[in-house]
Amino acid sequence: MLIKKYLLQTAIIFVILVAALGGAVSDRLFGLRPLDYIFPRSATSDTGFQAITERQVIKEESLVIEAIKKASPAVVTISVQTPKRKVLQFNPFGGLDVREQGGGQQDLATGFIVSADGLLVTNKHVVSNSEYKYIVIDKDGKEYEVKNIYRDPANDLALLKIEATGLPIVELGDSENLQVGQTVVAIGTPLGEFRQSATSGIISGLGRGIDTGNPFEGYVERLDNIIQTDAAINPGNSGGPLLDSGARVIGINVAVAAGAQNIGFAIPINVVKTSIEQFRQTGEFARPFLGVQYQIISKEAALANDLPQGAYVRGVVDGSPAALAGIKTEDVITKFGGEKIDAEKGGLAQLVNKHKAGDVVQVELWRNGKTQTLQIILQEAK
C-alpha cells in the first residue's frame, strides 16, 4: 500500500510539473494562456491596462494611416507659372540693357479632386491672379494645365477645371455635427516644398471667425463658422483637405494664426458642397447677400449686458436687403428664418448661407427693448 501511495503522489507531482511547464512554454512561444479561460485576468491589472492602451493606440494609428492612404491619391499640388518680366539694368560700359527676370514654375498650395472628370477645389486666394498660369500636379507627379478657374465671391473658395478622366476623388463628409476633440488629418504641400505631407491632430474649436488675406496685398476677407485645429498647417497647405478618421473631407485648410503654434483654420465642407451644387446647376456661383456687419453676442455677454443672444448689427450696407427691410445699426438679430442665432453653429452667416438669392426670409430682431419681425428678400452677392 505504501508503494502504491508513493507512486500515486509521484504521478500527481509529475502531472503538475508538466502542466506548469507546458503553460509556461505555450505562453512564451505562442502567447497562449490556458488558465485565462478558467481564471480570466482582470482588465484593471497592470498588464491588462497596458494591453488595452496599446490596442487603443494601434487602432488610432491604423485609422490615421488608412485615412491618408485612401485620400492622398486625390490630393494635388497647385503650382504657378509666373511670366518673365523685362527690366532695365545699367550696362557697366554705359547705357541700359533690357533683361528678363523671373518666370519659372513654383509649387504654391494644395487642392483636392471632387469629380473624376477633372473638377478640383482649392482656396480663392491661391489662384487670385488671373494673369498667371496654374498647373495641377498629382501624387505621381503628372502635370495638368488648369483650363478654367471659377472663384466664389462670398468665400475663399475656387473650383479648378483640368482636362482629364478617371481621376481618383475624395469623399466629402458632413461638417454639421463635428465635435471638439475629434481626430483630424491634413494633407498638403507645406511651404510649397514638401508634397503629400500629412499631419494629424484634433478639432480644437468650432464656430470661429477669422480675417484672411493681407491688406498690403489688396484683399482682406472675413470668414465665419471656421474650424480650428491643432494639426500642423503651414503656408502651402492652403486649399488642402482636412479629413476625419474615415478619410472624409470635413474642411478646407485656409489659414494659420500669425505668431502662434498649432492654431490652424479650415472652411467647413458643407459650405463647399453648397457651392459645388450651385455651380453644377448654373455654371456659376450665386451666393445670398444680406448686407450687415455684425458681432455675435454670446450667452455670457448677453447675461452680463442685459441683452438678447444674437447678432449685434454694427453697420448696414446702403441699398442692401437688410437696409431695404429696415434693419438698423445697434439692432440685435435673434432669429433668421425661424432659427436662433448660435455662435457655436456658425452664427448668422451659416443661416444666411442655407438660403438662396431671391428667398423671402423672416427675421426677428430686438430694438430698444422690444422684439420686432421683418421680412427680407435676399439678393445675390456681387
Residues belonging to the active site: 125, 156, 238
Exposure string of 267-284, with b = 16+ CB inside 10 Å and e = fewer, is bbbbbbbbbbebbeeeee
Asked whether 360 and 376 are in contact (CB, 8 A), the reply is: yes
Asked whether 267 and 288 are in contact (CB, 8 A), the reply is: no
